Structures are given as C-alpha cells and as structure tokens.
C-alpha cells in the first residue's frame, strides 16, 4: 500500500500481485496517477471495484464501506512436535 497526502487531499494505491486499487479524496489526482501508470505499464481499467481480495466494496453517499467476506478469529492453537 502506498499513500500520498497533501493538506486535505489523499490518494491510496493498493497493489497485490497483478491487482491494483487506486482511490482518494480528489478525482483529479487519482486520474493523473492512473495516466502516469498507464504510460509506464500495460494496464486495463476495470472500473469501480465491487470486490477486491475477498472484501466487498460498497459506496454509500460520500463514503466507501469495506465489508470482509468472512471474519476469522484465532483464539488458540496447538503445536504438535
């Protein structure tokens, strides 16, 4: 994950293997980053994300909700030698 913030503007770029998610508070900055990356790498814009790495992405008003597919809690484990 890479972040850049300046004053109240923030952009976050998440990269995992061959998947990338770019989002931020200023669409102009997000667009400039996308154009720069497209000039350096072969990329395909898949539009707005609905699921990434098993996390559902939902827009609600001006907010984005990230809802994990499932939540796992590890309370204890045993090691057998």
According to the model, what pLDDT value does residue 40 have?
94
**Given this model, what pLDDT does residue 68 score?**
80
Would you say 20 and 33 are in contact if contact means Cβ atoms under 8 Å apart?
Answer: no
Q: What is the pLDDT of residues 11-61, one digit of tens each?
A: 988 888 888 888 888 889 999 999 999 999 999 888 888 888 778 888 888
Q: How confident is the model at residue 39, as a pLDDT?
A: 95
Domain boundaries, the chain: 2-68
H-run or E-run covering 19: strand 19-24
């Amino acid at each position: 994950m890479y972040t850049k913030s300046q004053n109240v503007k923030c952009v976050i770029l998440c990269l995992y293997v061959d998947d990338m998610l770019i989002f931020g508070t200023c669409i102009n900055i997000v667009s400039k980053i996308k154009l720069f990356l497209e000039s350096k790498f072969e990329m395909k814009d898949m539009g707005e994300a609905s699921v990434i790495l098993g996390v559902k992405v939902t827009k609600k008003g001006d907010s984005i909700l990230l809802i994990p597919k499932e939540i796992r809690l590890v309370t204890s484990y045993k090691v057998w030698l």
